[in-house]
Amino acid sequence: MIVLTTPTGDIGRQVLDRVLDSGEAVRVIARDSSRLPGHVRAQAEVVEGSHADADTIAKALEGADRLFWLVPPADFRTAGPAVSHYLDFTRAAAREAADQNVRMVHVTSLGHGYDGEAGLLSAALGMDELIESTGVRYRALALPFFMENLLRQAQPIAQQGVFSMANTADRPLQLVATRDVAAAAAALLLEPTWTGQARVPLVSPDSLTPDAMAEIISETLGRTVRYRQMPLADFPAHMAQFGASPSLAQDMADMVSAQNNGIYDAEPRDPATATATDFRQWCRNVLMPAVRS
Q: Residues 18-37: what's their mean pLDDT?
A: 93
Beta carbons of 28 and 17 less than 8 angstroms apart: no
Q: Residues 240-253: pLDDT tens digits?
A: 999 999 999 999 99
Q: Residues 50-86: pLDDT tens digits?
A: 999 999 999 999 999 999 999 999 998 999 999 999 9
Q: What is the pTM of this model?
A: 0.95
Beta carbons of 111 and 267 less than 8 angstroms apart: yes
pLDDT of 284 over the 90 cut = yes
pLDDT of 273 over the 90 cut = no
Alpha carbons 199 and 186: distance in angstroms, whole number = 15
Q: Residues 38-52: what's their mean pLDDT?
A: 93
What residues does each domain of the chain span? 2-145+176-203+261-276
Residue 199's pLDDT band (boundaries 50, 70, 90)? Answer: very high
| Neighbouring-strand partners of residue 145 | 175
Element of type H or E holding 63: none
Beta carbons of 215 and 80 less than 8 angstroms apart: no
Tell me what pLDDT residue 265 has.
94
pLDDT of 274 over the 90 cut = no
For the structural domain made of 2-145+176-203+261-276, what CATH number should be given?
A: 3.40.50.720
Tell me what pLDDT residue 270 has.
80
- Give, in degrees to the nearest 5, the angle at Cα 1 between 3 and 139: 60
Higher pLDDT, 23 or 222: 222
Non-local (6+) Cβ contacts of 272 within 8 A are: none
Q: Residues 127-134: what's their mean pLDDT?
A: 98
In this structure, what are the phi and psi dihedrals at residue 66, rounded to the nearest 5 degrees? -145, 145
| Neighbouring-strand partners of residue 30 | 48
pLDDT of 116 over the 90 cut = yes
Beta carbons of 65 and 102 less than 8 angstroms apart: yes
| Neighbouring-strand partners of residue 3 | 27, 67
Tell me what pLDDT residue 197 has.
98
The 3 state secondary structure assigned to the chain is CEEECCCCCHHHHHHHHHHHHHCCCEEEEECCHHHCCHHHHHHCEEEECCCCCHHHHHHHHCCCCEEEECCCCCCCCCCCCHHHHHHHHHHHHHHHHHHCCCEEEEEEECCCCCCCCCCHHHHHHHHHHHHHHCCCCEEEEEECEEHHHHHHHHHHHHHHCEEEECCCCCCCEEEECHHHHHHHHHHHHCCCCCCCEEEEECECCCEECHHHHHHHHHHHHCCCCEEEECCHHHHHHHHHHCCCCHHHHHHHHHHHHHHHCCHHHCCCCCHHHECCCCHHHHHHHHHHHHHHC
What percentage of the chain exceeds 70 in pLDDT? 100
